[in-house]
Amino acid sequence: MEKSQPSCSRPTAAMQRREPWRVSRFLRNTILATCLCLAIYCFSHQSHLLTRPSAIMKDRTQSPISNVGDNAGQDPNPSSKKVPLEAHIMSKCPDAKNCFLDLIVPAMVKVHDKVDFKLSFIGNVSESSSDVSCKHGPSECVGNMLMLCAANLPFPCDPEQSKPGDKCKVPTIRSLGFANCLLRDYKNIPDRNIVEDCALEHGIDFKALNKCASSQSDDPSSSNGELSGLALLRESFRRSQQVGATKSCTVRVDEKEWCILDGGQWKNCQKKGADTVDGIVNEVERLYKERN
């Protein structure tokens, strides 16, 4: 784990007053330029967009989550009550990378069928305009939107786990693997090669991902049923603000703060060993058993 790294905290109100929402135009231009590159790259690689994930672990940063099937995260007993597990991050924060690598991904490999996983993002959203602000700049906002889009894209339903008329999203294991893939090289987000490679590795529809991330709609209800990365990001920022998550990476279990990785150090952990895979897995197992 990277030591003595700066804290990734949501800017305070005083900092916001000094830097009042100046990111909007630059962010939108960055999004459009990035998505144009993605679209061109996507067109030239169209035949490979829907390749199923078949990654082989090359080093410790290559996630074993690639080897978990699409049904992972789908409880064989649909009536069971899963345990909420949520990670609040910033896509260009080193703590987010280490949090996923050391805790979230290995824990999900073990208890993916018992948790309802949610990935949320930390940043600022204007209430008077469509502007958003990310601590590490516009490129981080783009990275956040790409991960949110990947988690919310439509996906064919498993006939054994769904009813006629159900609308399904990308399996959690795929979207989580995609997010972890980007975080492995967080400094270069949203470089087109990284995004395309991660989408290919985890079977994410690259064209749909690009369309979602490039949408300029900031209102989910007015996007004609199409996903908007900007709308998803604003909603996610509000979610983190609502629950009081200000540091990347904040881990929450069962809607309660569990542990925070801040500046390379685990803090505010609720139990001894909470910062370990076994610690969070045991807690999920306990809560799942209590409610089922």
Q: Which of 41-50, 157-166, 277-286 has the highest mean pLDDT?
A: 277-286
Q: What pLDDT is recorded for position 55?
A: 32
- The average pLDDT across 219-224 equals 58
- Flag the least confident range among 135-144, 182-191, 225-234: 225-234
Beta pairing, strands 83-89 & 132-133? unpaired
Instruction: Give the integer Cα–Cα distance in Å for 122 and 105.
Output: 20
- The average pLDDT across 223-227 equals 71
Contact call for residues 53 and 174 (beta carbons, < 8 A): yes
Instruction: Give the integer Cα–Cα distance in Å for 114 and 72.
Output: 10
- How much is the mean pLDDT over the chain? 82
Instruction: Give the integer Cα–Cα distance in Å for 227 and 129.
Output: 19
- The average pLDDT across 249-277 equals 97
Contact call for residues 256 and 19 (beta carbons, < 8 A): no
With 50 as the cut, is the pLDDT of residue 117 above it? Answer: yes
Give me the helix-helix angle, 138-152 and 172-184, nearest 10°: 160
Give me the helix-helix angle, 206-214 and 192-201, nearest 10°: 130
Which DSSP category does 169 fall into? Answer: B
Q: What angle do CA 240, 91, 219 make, to 5 degrees?
A: 55
Q: What pLDDT is recorded for position 65?
A: 59
Instruction: Give the integer Cα–Cα distance in Å for 104 and 172.
Output: 13
Element (H, E) at 120: strand 115-121
What is the band of 121 on the pLDDT scale with cuts at 50, 70, 90?
Answer: very high
2 or 157, greater pLDDT? 157
Instruction: Give the integer Cα–Cα distance in Å for 107 and 10.
Output: 26
Instruction: Give the integer Cα–Cα distance in Å for 258 and 273.
Output: 11
Q: What does the radius of gyration of the chain's CA atoms come to, in whole angstroms?
A: 18
Q: What pLDDT is recorded for position 194?
A: 96
Domain coordinates of the chain in residue numbers?
11-47+123-244, 79-115+247-292
The fraction of the chain above a pLDDT of 90, given in percent, is 63
| Segment 105-114, tens digit of pLDDT | 999 999 999 9
Contact call for residues 129 and 21 (beta carbons, < 8 A): yes
Q: What pLDDT is recorded for position 134?
A: 97
| Segment 134-185, tens digit of pLDDT | 999 999 999 999 999 999 999 999 888 778 888 899 999 999 999 999 999 9
Q: What pLDDT is recorded for position 64?
A: 55
What's the whole-model pTM score?
Answer: 0.80
Q: What pLDDT is recorded for position 73?
A: 46
With 50 as the cut, is the pLDDT of residue 62 above it? Answer: no
With 80 as the cut, is the pLDDT of residue 118 above it? Answer: yes
Unique residue bearing structure tokens 């996906």:
155
Which DSSP category does 126 fall into? Answer: -
Q: What pLDDT is recorded for position 220?
A: 60
Q: What pLDDT is recorded for position 208?
A: 94
Sequence-distant (6+) residues with CB within 8 A of 16 are 124, 133
DSSP secondary structure string for all residues of 14-28: HHHHHS-STHHHHHH
What is the band of 187 on the pLDDT scale with cuts at 50, 70, 90?
Answer: very high
With 70 as the cut, is the pLDDT of residue 250 above it? Answer: yes
Amino acid code (one letter) for 221 = S
